[in-house]
Amino acid sequence: MALNAQNLLESALSRSHNTLFLRCDQDGQVVACSRAMSTALEREVEQILGENFYHLLPSEEAARIRKAVGVLDFEASLYRLQLPDREGLLFQLVADARGFVLLGEPLDMQALEAASSRRLSEESNRLKNVFVTNLNHEIRDPLNAVAGMSHLLQLTPLNEQQCQYLQSIQAGVKGLLEVVDRLLEFTSSDLATPRLQIREFQLDTLTQALLGQLGARACDKGVELKIRLDPDVPTRVQGDPVYLNQLLFGLLENGVKFSAGGRVSLTVHLLEQDHHQVGLEFKVLDSGIGMTQEQLAALSDPFSALQNERLGLRRCQRLAEMMQARLTIDSQAGQGTLVTVKLFLTTGQAQVATVARTGGPGTKVLLVEDQVPNQRIVCELLENAGVVVEVASNGREALEKVRQCGQESPWRLILMDLEMPELDGVAAARLIRQFPEFDQVPIIATTSHVLAEQRQRCQDAGMDAFLSKPIDPDSWFERLRQWLPLEMKVSGSDFPILSAVNSQLGLKICGGNPSFYRSLLLDFAERCEHTAQELELASSQSNLTGLQFCVHSLHGLAANLGAERLAQTCRNLEQLTRTGETARALAAVPALVQDLRASAASLTRELPSGRAVRPVPEGWTGENLQQTFAALHRLKRDLEGGMGDSLDSVQELIHCSPLLAGQLDRLEKLVHQFNFSAALMELEEVRKRVS
């Protein structure tokens, strides 16, 4: 009778929509399940019945419940069960001769819906991060290509009109890159609440750039485009130049769009000014078709036909709201439109809220970077601009250098790669900030991943700014000039056209030094086979972490050398490793390995060594010996000073010392690796052989 009562009770429980109930046999096969339990398991009752309950759980949970059932011996026990994607639920676990029963408290549907909403939000954020990351890479690459080619074009003879066109291209690319950076902010904030980024900028430069951006379009429509700032308007102000540029561009573009002939003008007037703030009035007047009062009212209706037609004007209204500006529109049909924007900005005399650190003494920089080719590129670029660079190969080595400094930092700033072995950049920056003498030394992150989440981690660790990889000399120098007196020196030297790399882009990144760039490419070709083997080993072991690190390093190197196709393949594979798509990532490795080996073969085949074959004299001459000792002295001086000029000095030694042919290979390799201490020891051995 008791058994019948139990059966009736379990039968009633199995039909419950509120109580968590599950009956399994001794093997764990489900024989009864309530609707509430099926909801918690996110399956239909019909899909659960007959299934092995242990198979519905994570392996660790299944092992725990097996063990619990085995020791109960017809007793009841409180048991907290962690179901997949659920908070821990509290059950009574009862074992009997027929198996076991799980009986939970009535299901809290509100809590369940809240948990479901939370998981949906987390998944939405994850997908948003993936989308924005991919979009960032896809947009940034062609923009960097345009920026690189426009810089190379700037080195060629141009007339005044062509220079103006080129400046407009460069301003447009810079603006687009800033928009891409803003896009990354959306990964950590609501799209409806973007954040302003206040910094100092030249108002006259911003407004004049609009002429270049819209001049050709206005000319095609026969529209005269005019921009004028009143003489008392301050040129150096602080605000958000990206949003202000978008606002003014949108208003002028709207005026040109709806004008056929006539004029579109922007005038800027000073309203008021004190020591810290300036009130400005921007007026955009066009002689276009205008709007009736009904059409003006319809602008606030998102579903009106006019709203779709005047989408740019509606966006300008939203931009004005973001900047807390007041925007008004006056228009008459057939008479044109006047848009007035009243905006308050801070003047150049006021201090920006995000003031950067002032920097250490002198012009010496500490570069923290684990990839030797990247070390060489940055050293060449900065030392060519008059900056002395000291190198640390990882965060731990950088921290050791910091400890040895004493009471004052010897570096103006620190360039910190983020992803390094032993100690990554974020952890290293956090530890360096614990030294009081480094309070005013800026730490600049160098990375190809600048998502808002990562930016926040870096800022929390005490970092001051970001430099994007691959290296773009123009953008790097623009940012670093805040702390360093830099003068970019780029030669327009020709370089062979290569099938595996964009040699013009790579040459630009390497500071325009053809011999230096050639040596990097040849070194890269030599190490390709080793890298291919590392990829194959990580793939054979399904080592996703190792694969990600290897591909990340290869991606940065390939991009800096101008190997765009190889860099793109690495980027795609790296994205697969970051999103946990193991099967697709492993399947993509063979194609990358093949591309890597093919690139090495083509570089070896197409790239000359760069060394002229010279006849070897029978013996040393007095002049030849004197030149060799002078070259040895210069190289020793550069090595002792840790200077990148040693790259040129070792080539000079090779050139003037043909009798040492074959005896300087190791010395040259050590110098190219910036292993100055070992190079000095090898140099001493060479000097002994000459003596």
Which of 639, 607, 614 lies closest to 520 in space, CA to CA? 607
pTM of the model: 0.41
Answer yes or no: is 499 within a domain.
no
Domain total in the chain: 5
Answer yes or no: is 129 within a domain.
no
Answer yes or no: is 452 within a domain.
yes
Is 249 found in the same domain as 145? yes
Q: Between 370 and 160, where is the model more confident?
A: 370
- State mean pLDDT over 18-45: 86
- Dump pLDDT digits (tens) for 367-425: 998 887 788 778 878 887 788 889 998 899 999 999 888 778 889 999 999 888 778 88
Q: What percent of the chain stands above pLDDT 90?
A: 6
Q: Cβ distance 670 to 639 under 8 Å?
A: no
Is 369 found in the same domain as 307? no
User: What contacts 169, CB < 8 A, 6 or more positions away?
Assistant: 146, 150
Is 537 found in the same domain as 678? no
Answer yes or no: is 612 within a domain.
no
Is 152 found in the same domain as 98? no
Residue 194: the pLDDT is 57
Is 421 found in the same domain as 320? no
Quickly count: other Cβ atoms within 10 Å of residue 172's Cβ.
17
Domain with residue 16: its CATH number is 3.30.450.20
Answer yes or no: is 358 within a domain.
no
| Lookup: tokens for 51 | 């299934």
Per-residue pLDDT band at 354 (split at 50, 70, 90) = very low
Could you give the C-alpha distances from 590 to 419, 544, 586, 614, in angstroms and in order? 24, 15, 8, 42
Sign of CA dihedral 463, 469, 475, 477: positive
Q: Would you call 283 helix, strand, or coil by DSSP? A: strand
Answer yes or no: is 354 within a domain.
no
One-letter amino acid at 598 equals: A
Answer yes or no: is 611 within a domain.
no
Domain span at 677: 622-690
Answer yes or no: is 66 within a domain.
yes
- State mean pLDDT over 169-175: 73
Domain with residue 542: its CATH number is 1.20.120.160
Is 314 found in the same domain as 194? yes
Residue where one domain finishes, among candidates 347, 375, 396: 347
Is 300 found in the same domain as 163? yes
Domain with residue 482: its CATH number is 3.40.50.2300
Domain with residue 326: its CATH number is 3.30.565.10
User: What contacts 438, CB < 8 A, 6 or more positions away?
Assistant: 402, 409, 432
Which of 257, 262, 333 lies closest to 296 in space, CA to CA? 333
